[in-house]
Amino acid sequence: MEGHTTITSLYPDGEPKSPKGAKTTVVNQCGYYVRENIPISFKLWKKSKATDTDDDIVPDTEKEMLWADVKRHFSVPEEHEQLFKDWVMKMAIAFQTFKKNLNKDYVKKGLTPDFEKDFKNQRLYWDAFVQYKSSEDSEQHKPKRMRARKNTSIILAREVTRRLLRSGRKWKRTSLQEESYRQPSTGRCEQSITFMLTEAH
């Protein structure tokens, strides 16, 4: 992607405010850089409770190269450069979305990208990516909120099953737990609900 854009103002979190469309341009540029240059063999953008293994995390050197690429295409007032950089460094969504699409479009279908046409720089990391996505380890590295939703579903299923099996008896809900979370792909807030059933006397 070519061209240079001067960003004239930012929101308090560092997101480009003006000129119009600057945010989209920055996100697209970062997405392009991530697809072309960040090895897909890395499992996470930054350390989390899921893993503290350095080999699984995109290193700071890769992120600094991303930042250097952004600076070649965008400029901001000098006094706001660090704020803008902090916002750019949150490109975890672009990285995870790219890998999610690769998994959906290729790995799960037993296909391999045509590296002569697309993602040429990812060829060296493809086998490691496939092995990771095909292993149980992939489940472990899902965000905690996704695992929590799965556990909630299991709890609900067990309780409903017990209720159905013990026909003829009345049940009542004794506890209710609600959890709010934000979907990383859509930005929407959603809720999960866990409830417990006990026999009514």
Nearest to 95 by CA among 45, 46, 151: 45
Asked if 35 and 133 touch (Cβ cutoff 8 Å), the reply is: no
Question: 168 and 126, same structural domain?
Answer: no
For 2, the token pair is 């070519």
Do both 195 and 130 map to the same domain?
A: no
Indicate if 151 and 115 belong to the same structural domain. Answer: no
Residues 170 and 131 in one domain: no
pTM assigned to the model: 0.59
Host domain of residue 148: 144-199
pLDDT tens-digit series, residues 27-81: 888 888 888 889 999 988 887 776 667 788 999 898 898 889 889 999 999 999 9
111, 195: one domain: no
Based on the fold, state whether residues 67 and 128 are members of the same structural domain.
Answer: yes
Q: Chain-centre distance of CA 99, in angstroms? A: 9
Q: Give the chain's domain count.
A: 2
Closest CA to 89 of 51, 34, 39: 34
Do residues 81 and 156 both lie within one domain?
A: no
Do residues 12 and 108 both lie within one domain?
yes
Q: Which of 160, 159, 157, 195 is nearest to 179 (CA)?
A: 195
Question: Looking at the structure, do residues 112 and 160 belong to the same domain, yes or no?
Answer: no
Residues 102 and 131 in one domain: yes
pLDDT digits (tens, 9 = 90+) for 108-163: 999 999 999 888 899 999 999 999 888 754 455 555 555 555 555 555 555 554 55
Same domain flag for 132 and 163: no
| 54/124 same-domain check | yes
Query: What is the C-alpha separation between 63 and 90, in angstroms, rounded?
Result: 10
pLDDT of 11 over the 60 cut: yes
